A and B are shown apart, each in its own frame.
Chain A
Amino acid sequence: MRRVDPRAAGLAIGAPVLAVLFAALLSSIALVISGSSPIETFQSIVDYGTRPHNLIEIVNKSVTYYLSGLAVAIGFRMNLFNIGVDGQYRIAAFAAAVVGAAVPLPGVLRIVLVILVAVVVGALWAGLAAVLKVTRGVSEVISTIMLNAIAGGLVFYFLSPERLGVQATSNQIRTELLPADSWFPNFALSDGTLYGFVLVAIGCGAAYWVLLNRTRFGFDLRATGLSESAAVASGVNVKRMVVASMLLSGGVAGLVGLPVLLSDTHYYGQDFPLGYGFTGIAIALLGRNHPVGIAFGALLWSFLERSSLILDIQGVPKEIVTIMQGVTVLSVVIAYELVRRFGLVRQQRRVAAELSAQGAEARA
């Protein structure tokens, strides 16, 4: 058992709390500039965001964000920047919607098929970037960004009535509707519907933790992320690790669109939501790539987003929330860095003190 140092634990929890407070302070300044009272605004945000109906919506949205954050975090642990989660989940959800509607299978099996297709397509799309990186040395940062645009164009192309889409109404083109027996089961609560996919997300989080902390693969992955040269020296095949972790990240990214597809719209239309991939980056940073931390980050993010709805009604520009989100991310990463450095100094002092104590004993 590791001994838990209470001061280190306090620092680890204190850093994000301080950062959020700092973000709140900056947002207050922005609020004062725009002529609104910060205290009233924050009060109404909290009041609105904690209503039961809104809480359910917040959890539903955070399921999507959590999966996205997890996909990004897998890459981060290995020093890979998968900025392509956006393209991966869009092309995956589109393929899953098309295949799911086309293949005749009884209910549950069809759900399994949809999930499988999404995971495989997401993984393959991310795999392109991995192959380019290991064979041609193209940075995954650039290639995944370019693949985002290409995925968007491909989906746009195939989503037309002449190809894989259907003209649902005069101004909506979408894929065929998934049959009702293969919609993902949801929880009907008194104040709204909770996505059943929340269980899948929790499962993914648990699997992520086990994979990273209790398997050889996870150890190799973290080792490569911390020091590539050390990993190579201990026999890790870095290229294979790059491909494997990128496939894994893309596979999880493939799941990102599914809560919406399987529990809400049941089709992929032109209005399918975009940009969850970038949110995932922010959330992985907020959660420090830890499965529980990412969950908190996802909840905070969707809480802020949901609460912003009340601001417009009160005449406060709701864009203040985007600023709060950006400032939170930046101040959280700075806070973590400061804490890390402070911890390092503390450790060095302690070691120095112990060494000099030993020296004194030896001399005595």
Chain B
Amino acid sequence: MTAGLGTMAAPVAVPRRARRSRLPVALLAVAVGLVALSAVRLVTGADDLTSSGTVGAALRLAVPIGLAGLGGLWAERSGVVNIGLEGMLILGTWGGAWAGWHWGPWAGALVGMLFGALGGLLHAAATVTFGVDHIVSGVAITILGGGVARFLSALAYKHVPGAGVTQSPPVRDIGTVSIPGTGDWLRSVERHHWFVASDLAGMLRGLTTGVSRLALVAVLLVPLSYWILWRTKLGLRIRSCGENPQAAESLGVNVYRMKYLAVIVSGALAGLGGAFLSEVAAGIYREGQTNGRGYIGLAAMIFGNWRPGGLAAGAGLFGYTDALNLRSGGESVHALLLLLAVLLVAVAVWNVVRRRRLMAAVTLAVAGLLLWWFLAADRVPDEFVGFAPHLTTLLVLSLAAQRLRMPAADGRPYRRGEAR
């Protein structure tokens, strides 16, 4: 039972174009997105779409998803599908809160990583040494993670007032940092609700003031992961195991060791994400706190085409839709319907140009439906806002999945010394 998580079509040779820098394209996309968001905000009056509060919350919510996704990236680049991220995230929330309560927040972050890494070690042992199907092992680890967290809570918080099987005592906050000299004038610009300028100010303020120290660490881990995986010998070896382990073996790479290393790092990153969730986002460990973020992280990684930059963008998108939940979600998501409808019309036009009539028709129909919904109602029911991130994931993947390329040997069993 082996299956990759990405496309099911067999890998097709993509014509290689000369490698261009993606930076201008990305910047252009950000700029267009900003203008569109700002226009939608002016049309609908949903000011929370780009307020500093929303953006700050989006960052806080994106960090655990991004760290889980980064964990997925390490594992899958080495050829191991890690659907046990959810379990490692759970272990991280418990370890982070427990150690944070005992020895302070930084110790909590470290112990959270350690707990996650232990989950990764188990996954590596099952998949690499014993050759168990990757998804099977991941599901088992998720079940086990929940059980271990409950059991440890029962042991550790037996005689602690205000804590119990399902929650820890409160954890001291890790503290925040702000870039000096940005807060006040950005706030005044934001208050005027100008076109684009206020949106930009709101976003900048959300990203520069009152940012948790641990969030800063998490953001820095994205370029660090890129540098290690794509710019060092070690990273090349790890990635070669994900693309063609037999070839890597013939070149003298110890494939087992590389996979173990990558999966343990993967667990540690997910564990840090868990520690962030319990220490910073909530200030307490609560059962069921992860709420499927491990899976959403995995989806963010697929959305990002198994690359760190795309993954961070995906995590940001999910964090943002999640944040709207907290900040007058009904109105904001309602305003987003308009944006989505416009975007889908653009996709439909693109499909017409590419002569894909069926796709164009389907996209146009969905766009019409969204527009009708936008005009017919004043707000989106809260129950729907709750699954906005999940629906976004589905939409994004169904629009993008066919252009993705996962590591060639991802999820395939590999035995040392066996030919393919």
**A residues within 8 Å of B by Cβ?**
30, 33-34, 76, 79-81, 83, 132-134, 136-139, 141-143, 145-150, 152-154, 156-157, 225, 278, 281-282, 285, 317, 319-323, 325-327, 329-330, 333-334, 337-338, 341
Contact = CB atoms under 8 A, between A and B. Distances in A.
Given A319-B147, A330-B141, A150 B132 contact: no
Contacts of B137: 330, 333
B144 interface: yes
B295 A143 contact: no
A133 B135 contact: no
Interface in B267-304: 292, 295, 298-299, 302
Most B CB contacts (10 A, CB to CB) among A30, A132, A145, A154 go to A145
Contacts of B384: 153, 157
B40 interface: no
B299 to A, nearest CB: 5
B151 A147 contact: no
Contacts of B165: 317, 319
A348 to B, nearest CB: 12
Contact of A141 (B5, B122, B141): B5
Interface stretch (B6-14, B204-212, B241-249, B366-374): B6-14
Interface centre among A142, A156, A225, A323 (most CB of B within 10 A): A142
Contact of B133 (A138, A146, A278, A333): A333
Contacts of B295: 142, 145-146
A333 B155 contact: no
Given A133-B8, A143-B394, A337-B131, 13 more contacts: A34-B151, A79-B1, A79-B3, A134-B8, A138-B397, A147-B394, A153-B387, A157-B383, A282-B143, A285-B139, A319-B154, A319-B165, A341-B131
Interface residues of B, number: 54
B141 A322 contact: no
Contacts, number: 153
8 contacts: A134-B8, A137-B8, A138-B397, A139-B397, A141-B5, A147-B390, A152-B387, A330-B144
Nearest to B404: A137
B9 A137 contact: yes
B318 to A, nearest CB: 11
A142 B299 contact: yes
A282 B140 CA distance: 7
Residue from the set A319, A323, A329 with the largest chain B CB neighbour count within 10 Å: A319
B310 to A, nearest CB: 15
Given A79-B2, A138-B398, A319-B165, A150 B151 contact: no
B383 A156 contact: yes
B83 interface: yes
Given A30-B151, A319-B151, A338 B8 contact: no
A334 B137 CA distance: 9
Contacts of A79: 1-3
Contact of B402 (A137, A150, A278, A282): A137
Given A81-B3, A334-B126, A136 B402 contact: yes
A246 to B, nearest CB: 12
Contacts of B5: 139, 141-142
A329 B83 contact: no
A99 B135 CA distance: 37
Contact of A138 (B132, B143, B298, B401): B401
A339 to B, nearest CB: 11
A333 B140 contact: yes
Given A79-B2, A139-B302, A322 B147 contact: yes
Nearest to B402: A137
Of B3, B9, B139, which is in contact with the most chain A CB atoms at under 10 Å from its CB? Answer: B139
B1 A76 contact: yes
B381 A146 contact: no
A278 to B, nearest CB: 7
Contacts of A137: 6-9, 401-402
A154 B386 CA distance: 10
B146 interface: yes
Contacts of B398: 132, 136, 138
Interface string B396-407: 011101100000
A327 B148 CA distance: 10
B104 to A, nearest CB: 25
A132 B399 CA distance: 10
A317 B155 contact: yes
A141 B397 CA distance: 12
A363 to B, nearest CB: 30
Given A326-B140, A327-B144, A330-B126, A81 B394 contact: no
Contacts of B154: 34, 317, 319
A330 B387 CA distance: 31
Contacts of B351: none
